[in-house]
């Protein structure tokens, strides 16, 4: 097997080979690092790298497998951790010149669990400044690009995670999601990304207390998402919002024949690119072929549904940006300054309006889900925007040749409404490619706290389409 083939093994396949002694963690790590070094200058998916340490840890994992010792669920696997969570003694930049090279003395709960399970952090994945954009570029690290077509963004804010998975420079990756930051890059890069229900996975304070905020896995297969989710999931004594008891997802699922699936192409809110529409409809046909009933529904939402989410983000998350801008405006990106400016205008009445809007959204979504097993819509209204999008302030968004009236940052992302409906599990999976070669994706949304339902549907879909990245024809040309 060539080094490139090793780089595109799923994590589950790599673990099976480790156990059967058909592959060494050192061989995999060497291949992944070589791949990362090859693509870094072109794509910039990583900020800090820890290659020497990763190779040393891979040797220790190799020894465990060789002697038949007990191994962790992720033993020997390379994993990219988003450059916004903590690993004690290692730098974290948050994608900003203001906080670049911050050295924490604690390790985030998710990272503790990954390390305990034997995952090896070979690199930190790039993020926009303070993870506050749907693209990934910053003054600290430059522009992160899409492996399928470097003219386009890999999405954000977990853009480095999505890009590294698609490029074969990691086996697993972590993301966080407050307005779509896991699902946006999952769709734009053609990988799997999971936003769990609020509280399912732990997060760092103070944003663990924001119901819009989630952490979750990003992978190249649904089985790998289950693998990583089962490691990081569970209550934490440091996170009051974390749910008890721990939910362990099944790894084997029954067919979805007889399921009722609802869908909307535009959520009655977004202008949607024609190629995205076509790929979404083709994905819905796959679900029909699996014996599910698929029907379009009207949620009776409108542009106000997106505005609901933006009001919430401005008031809480944006306030953090405004605080930073008071002292450090010259060091900050255009999109962070725009966010700060919006936050300064936000009032308690606006935040109350966001809560009222969230209730109004669920008044139609909740009853609809009582008669359907899952809901499907596109992840993004565009395959992706250009890599440098939002480098200037107040940039306009165009879809289907029309200037959008929606917010430029999230007006092309159909993800934020499901941060508003934060207790619903959402899994983004690839649905195809545009003529630009940039992937497209669909969101599979479940009833509140019904995590297994979205994975059952996704496994069925993935199996029906034959998976992703299975050969050179289904990988970026790098």
- Catalytic residue annotation: 82, 157, 181
Helices within 316-378 (DSSP H only): 317-328, 334-345, 348-369
Coil, strand, or helix at residue 403?
Answer: strand
Pair of tokens at residue 90: 């290692």
Rounded CA gap, 4 and 14, in Å? 13
Instruction: Identify the residue whose tokens are 């998710």.
Output: 110
Pair of tokens at residue 422: 């934060």
Give me the phi and psi of 39, to 5 degrees please. Answer: -95, -15
Pair of tokens at residue 389: 């999008």
Compute CA 291 distance to the chain's CA centroid, rounded to the nearest angstrom: 29
Are the C-beta atoms of 173 and 74 separated by less than 8 Å?
no
Coil, strand, or helix at residue 282?
Answer: helix
Compute CA 399 distance to the chain's CA centroid, rounded to the nearest angstrom: 23
What is the signed CA dihedral for 53, 56, 58, 60, rounded to 10 degrees?
-130
Are the C-beta atoms of 268 and 304 separated by less than 8 Å?
no
Instruction: Identify the residue whose tokens are 């929606």.
Output: 406
Q: Residue 165's closest CA among 272, 32, 67?
A: 32
């Amino acid at each position: 097997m060539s080094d490139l083939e090793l780089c595109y093994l799923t994590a589950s396949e790599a673990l099976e080979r480790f156990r059967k002694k058909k592959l060494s963690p050192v061989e995999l790590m060497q291949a992944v690092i070589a791949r990362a070094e090859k693509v870094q200058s072109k794509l910039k998916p990583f900020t800090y790298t820890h290659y020497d340490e990763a190779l040393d840890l891979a040797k220790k994992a190799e020894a465990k497998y060789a002697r038949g010792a007990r191994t962790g669920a992720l033993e020997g696997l390379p994993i990219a951790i988003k450059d916004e969570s903590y690993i004690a003694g290692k730098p974290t930049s948050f994608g900003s010149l203001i906080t670049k090279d911050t050295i924490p003395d604690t390790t985030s709960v998710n990272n503790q669990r990954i390390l305990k399970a034997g995952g090896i952090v070979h690199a930190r994945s790039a993020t926009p400044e303070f993870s506050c954009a749907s693209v990934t570029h910053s003054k600290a690290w430059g522009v992160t690009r899409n492996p399928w077509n470097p003219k386009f963004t890999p999405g954000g804010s977990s853009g480095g995670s999505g890009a590294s998975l698609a490029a074969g420079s990691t086996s697993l990756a972590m993301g966080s999601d407050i307005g779509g930051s896991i699902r946006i890059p999952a769709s734009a890069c053609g990988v799997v990304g999971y936003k769990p229900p609020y509280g399912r996975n732990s997060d760092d304070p103070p944003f663990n207390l924001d119901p819009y905020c989630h952490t979750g896995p990003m992978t190249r297969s649904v089985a790998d998402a289950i693998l990583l989710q089962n490691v990081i999931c569970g209550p934490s004594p440091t996170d009051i919002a974390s749910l008890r008891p721990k939910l362990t997802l099944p790894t084997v699922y029954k067919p979805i024949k007889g399921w009722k699936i609802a869908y909307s192409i535009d959520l009655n809110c977004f202008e949607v690119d024609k190629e995205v529409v076509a790929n979404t409809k083709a994905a819905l046909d796959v679900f029909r072929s699996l014996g599910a009933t698929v029907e379009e529904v009207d949620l009776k939402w409108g542009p106000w549904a997106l505005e609901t989410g933006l009001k919430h983000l401005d008031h809480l998350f944006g306030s953090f940006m405004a605080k930073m801008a008071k002292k450090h405006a010259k060091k900050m990106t255009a999109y962070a300054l725009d966010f700060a400016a919006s936050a300064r205008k936000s009032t308690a009445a606006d935040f109350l309006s966001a809560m009222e809007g969230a209730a109004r959204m669920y008044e139609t979504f909740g009853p609809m889900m009582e008669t359907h097993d899952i809901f499907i819509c596109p992840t993004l209204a565009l395959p992706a925007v250009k890599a440098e999008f939002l480098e200037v302030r107040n940039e306009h968004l165009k879809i289907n040749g029309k200037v959008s009236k929606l917010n430029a940052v999230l007006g092309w992302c159909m993800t934020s409404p499901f941060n508003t409906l934060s207790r619903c599990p959402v899994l983004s999976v690839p649905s195809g490619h545009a003529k630009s070669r940039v992937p497209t994706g669909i969101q599979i949304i479940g009833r509140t706290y019904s995590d297994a339902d979205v994975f059952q549907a996704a496994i069925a879909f993935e199996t029906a389409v034959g998976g992703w990245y299975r050969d050179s024809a289904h990988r970026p040309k790098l």
